[in-house]
Amino acid sequence: MLGAADVLLAILDRDAGVFSVPSKVLTHLCVGKPQLLVVPRENLAARVVERAGAGIVVQPGDQEAAAAALRRLLSRPSERRDMGSRGRAYAKSTFAIGPIGDRFESVLRGPIGESHGATQSASL
């Protein structure tokens, strides 16, 4: 369903937006569609989307800027396509399951490997 959208929207309240990183923004990156975020600029999701070039960020409460950003995105299909592609590329490199799985395994093997190795040595 998300893939049928022209633009994906995420909105956070000014107060909650400073602390919250909405998982929908990360999902939107995976979908490969441009985003319009109405969230505080200091929000991590806003910084990710801006750094990746995957959408436009507007401050909460600025309805005129949000409307202008939406009109801009809807009137520029090639810009939407480029933003979506950059977001998808960011997601593929950042959320790659292989390296993430390897990191989890190394964290889990550290304590398990140490205690398991000590047990094996003691029993030999």
Residue 117 has pLDDT above 80, yes or no: no
Contact 25, 35 (CB under 8 A): yes
- What pLDDT digit, counting tens, does each position of 71-83 carry? 999 999 999 999 9
C-alpha angle 71-34-11 in degrees, rounded to nearest 5: 75
Query: What are the distances in angstroms from CA 23 to CA 12, 28, 116?
Result: 12, 9, 37
Return the structure tokens found at 33.
């569609």
How many CB atoms are located within 10 Å of the residue 25 CB?
Answer: 24
Report residue 113's pLDDT band, with 50, 70 and 90 as the boundaries: low
- What pLDDT digit, counting tens, does each position of 18-33 carry? 677 778 898 999 999 9
The count of C-alpha atoms lying within 13 angstroms of the C-alpha of 69, restricted to the half-sphere facing its C-beta, is 19
Residue 123 has pLDDT above 50, yes or no: no
The mean of the pLDDT values for the chain is: 86
Report residue 36's pLDDT band, with 50, 70 and 90 as the boundaries: very high
Is residue 82 within a helix (H) or strand (E), and if so which, with residue range?
Answer: helix 77-94
Rounded CA-CA distance 108/123 in Å is 23
The reply to whether CATH 3.40.50.1110 applies to domain 2-95 is: no
Of residues 70 and 102, more confidence is placed in 70
Is residue 37 within a helix (H) or strand (E), and if so which, with residue range?
Answer: strand 35-38
Rounded CA-CA distance 50/13 in Å is 19
Of residues 52 and 99, more confidence is placed in 52
pLDDT at residue number 121: 46
pTM listed for this prediction: 0.75
